[in-house]
Structures are given as C-alpha cells and as structure tokens.
Amino acid sequence: MAALPPYVGRLGRSWHYGFRILCGLILTFLMAPVLVIIPLSFNAEPYFTYPMPGFSLRWYADFMASDVWARAIQNSLIIAICTTLLSTALGTLSALGLSHPRLPYKTLIMGILISPMIVPLVITAVGMYFFYAPLGLTNNLFGIILAHTALGTPFVVITVTATLIGFDHSLTRAASSLGASPAYTFFKITMPLVLPGIISGALFAFATSFDEVVVVLFLAGVEERTIPRQMWSGMREQLSPTILAVATILVVLSVALLTTLELLRRRNERLRGIRS
C-alpha cells in the first residue's frame, strides 16, 4: 500500500484507514457464508456442525460415484455450452448492430435486449413456461437452452458494446475500400480487437446458464435435472454433505471464471493503451 502524502492531516488519515477497515468488514460479511461451507464439505461425519470430528473426502467420492450427479453434470455442461455458443453469436451480432451510428431507436432496442436482466427471474420463468408449453419445448434440453440463451445474451451485448466504444470504425471502412468483404473484415479486423469483450460475455453467459435454477424448475423434467436443480432437490429431500462438496466445486469454478475475466480486463486495457 502506498504511503499517504505528508500533507494529509489526522482526519484524512483516519478516513483513509477507517474506510479500508469498513470495506474489509463488508467483504468478510459477504464472504463468510461461502467460506463456512468449504470446510464442512471435508467433514468425516454427516453433520453440519463445528468443530468437525475429522476430515474426509468421502462426500467428494460420493459425488463422483453418483449416477444422479453424473447425469446432472452432463445436462449442465450440454446446456451451458450450447447456451454460450448461441448467446455469444447473437450478442456479438446485436452489439455490432447497436454500434452503428445511424441505427434508429437504438435506446429502445438496447432496452429490449437487456430486459431479461431487469425483469424478476421468476416472472421470466413463468412467461417462458406458458410460451414454451404449447410449442412442446418443456421437459427437454432444447427448451432450456433457448431460455438460457435469452438470459445470457444481454451479458454478451453489454460487454461487447463496452468494448466497441473505443473501436475505430475507420479501420472497417478502409478495409471495405480495399475490396474486403464484410465477413473478411469482421474476422480479420473487428473480431481480434473486440475479442476480450466477446470472451468476457461468453464467460458470463456460461456462468449464468450453469448456475441458473429458477427457469429449470419450470421447464425441466425429471431427466433434465441440472446441478443447481439437483442441489435444490437434495436440500428438500435429503440434506447431505455431498451438496456442500458440489457447492465447493462451484465456488472454485466461479473463482476461476472471475480470475479469467480480470485477466481479460487487464489485457483489454493494455490494448486500449497501445491503440491510444
């Protein structure tokens, strides 16, 4: 931590250190529920109490050996990967369209695209159920993928749009004047420059789909259980430390995704500094 300038008085120093202590306390309050469950996932006994009688990996072994959890992992990965691909493609195309300077009703279109982030999720889930049910899109993975695509696309739109703010459109005009096709211009000029935003949006879409449970409760059947829904069912039917093991794995996955996003953000800042 950098030292304070010599001209900072006692009040300024008190505010400087007090503000950091307050931020640390708030962070501890927010992280404590997450950090508490991690040691319990290594408990040797099926009790959610401290102190623990011993440490064991039995709940992780139970998770790995369970056919129910294996099916849930398979469903979650299929849904999340397909959702990420669709959301990334649709969100990137939407962001490119919104970046056009002469696009009419840009604000209205942007509001419609990001509305799934604003509307309460349970309302969205109910609406999707009544819309998908007559079409036969409930109780199958395809309907869940379409629903999660609607939820994940706004994240891609926002991140790619933010990346395109500093984009120099004279580069694409120069490529067009030299005879490059729109597809060639996109893959050779536009995409490399906005790639950090595309990857960030894709990671957000993946995390949104992988952790989502409300829509799955409305649209999925018995065979389409995902990891979050299996955790929900496990807490209602049979409270087992295996759920804590799964939660710990999801926490580690979330930390890895956030670390990747931070690395991409720093890379994007370096690219902006080079271009400027």
* 3-state DSSP of the chain: CCCCCCCCCHHHHHHHHHHHHHHHHHHHHHHHHHHHHHHHCCECCCCCCCCCCCECCHHHHHHHHCHHHHHHHHHHHHHHHHHHHHHHHHHHHHHHHHCCCCCCCHHHHHHHHCHHHHCCHHHHHHHHHHHHHHHCCCCCHHHHHHHHHHHHHHHHHHHHHHHHCCCCCHHHHHHHHCCCCHHHHHHHHHHHHHHHHHHHHHHHHHHHHHHCCHHHHHHCCHHHCCHHHHHHHHHHHCCCHHHHHHHHHHHHHHHHHHHHHHHHHHHHHHHHHHHC
Q: How far is CA 48 from the centre of its chain?
A: 29
Q: For the chain, 276 residues long, give each residue's pLDDT as a single digit of tens.
A: 456 667 667 777 777 788 889 999 998 898 888 888 888 888 877 777 777 777 888 888 888 888 888 898 899 999 999 999 999 999 988 888 887 777 788 888 888 888 888 888 889 899 999 999 888 888 888 999 999 999 999 999 988 888 877 677 777 778 878 788 877 787 787 777 788 788 888 988 998 898 888 999 898 877 788 888 888 887 776 677 788 888 888 888 888 877 877 777 777 667 656 555
Give every CB contact of residue 104 below 8 A, 6+ residues apart in sequence: none
- Centre a 10 Å sphere on the Cβ of residue 210 and count the other Cβ atoms it contains: 22
Instruction: In whole angstroms, give the CA distance from residue 207 to residue 253.
Output: 9
Strand partners, 43: 55
Residue 19's alpha-carbon distances to 9, 28, 32, in angstroms, are 15, 14, 20
Mind listing the pLDDT tens digit for each residue in 124-157?
899 999 999 888 888 888 999 999 999 999 999 9
**Single pTM value for the model:** 0.80
Strand partners, 55: 43
